[in-house]
Amino acid sequence: MSLVAVTEPEFRKAEAVFRSCGPDLECRPAPAGEDALAEMVGRHGIRHVVVGVERYRGPLYEALAPGAVIARFGVGHDGIDKVQATRRGLLCTNTPGVLDDSVAEHAVNLILAAARHTPVLASQMKQGCWRPQVGRELAGGTLTVVGCGAIGRRVARIAALGFRMRVTGCDVAELDDQALRRDWGFRRLTADFAEAVGDADFVSLHIPATPATTGFIDHRRLRMLNPSAWLINTSRGAVVDEPALYDALVAGTLAGAALDVFRQEPYAPAAPGKDLRRLNNVVMTPHVGSSTQAACDRMAAAAIESIRLAERKCWADMPLLNPEVLRVPGGAPEEP
């Protein structure tokens, strides 16, 4: 039996799945911090790990034996150093596809909350304050989806078919325009960000965090947005320059922002005196886009399946983030 360490927050989210892995695997809850996790791996002979959004930069890679799996419980994997992992012969995976609906639904939830002032009104009601505000109808409004991948397409379809919104897609990748219009409800598609967002009531981000997209929403691009628009981010915190966003919100050049992801999590202001929590035109949730029970169970099952595939040496069937590891001497050998 192989031992698998699952970081505590992820273990709690899908405990029933992780506890029912036997008889070939035994999953144990583990500290999320890298030093403590690495120490547990060494002390208990842990073979594989399942991790969340924390950043792992050193000791974990040294603690695991070549051929071990670092399975990301989720899709975004900027917290895993693939270069170090590859050098050590470690197999890195994530769980693509299993959380698309949950994140898309939460993006739409944030759009609705922004349109109808839901957080502010709910808070006021609990304080005994009856202060109605005029909101927006989504029907007939314009949504720009930045990043037309699996989640962005689902957001577009909900908005177009469910709320009768006009949906613009913005992506630099080559896309099947005809299929996006026919199957997902897009009315317009462009690679030009300024063109895509100029008339949008809501701009929803669905792009990965990479060196090229870090700080993608900066002062310059924020000025391209309609002053009455809301920015929605359920992708990765790193793609938004948070001090620039704060400045735009305070200056009134952007109506508001609804955010589920942040540069630092748990959230802390990215610059002194620029705390987004203090602004009334900001809606914030603690990175819960994929946190439905159904999605968590699917993520757990997918992570465990990757580990089982590695145990059976079926590397070609794994969702490898670093396929080059199969060519590293002393790591996982190429599949015969």
- 318 contacts 306 by C-beta, under 8 angstroms: yes
Q: Which two tokens stand for residue 224?
A: 């391209």
Q: Which of 236, 242, 263, 298 is catalytic?
A: 236
Q: Which two tokens stand for residue 95?
A: 């769980």
- 295 contacts 100 by C-beta, under 8 angstroms: no
223 in catalytic set: no
Residue 331 Cα to chain centre, angstroms: 29
Q: Which of 206, 221, 287, 298 is catalytic?
A: 287
> For the range 9-15, what are the long-range contacts, defined as Cβ-Cβ under 8 Å and sequence gap of 24 or more?
9/52, 10/50, 10/51, 10/52, 10/73, 10/299, 10/300, 11/50, 13/73, 13/291, 13/296, 13/299, 13/300, 14/296, 14/297, 14/299, 14/300, 14/301
- 271 contacts 243 by C-beta, under 8 angstroms: yes
Q: Which of 265, 324, 334, 335 is catalytic?
A: 265
Can you tell me the distance from the alpha carbon of 88 to that of 234, in angstroms, rounded to the nearest whole number? 32
206 in catalytic set: no
265 in catalytic set: yes
Catalytic residues: 236, 265, 287
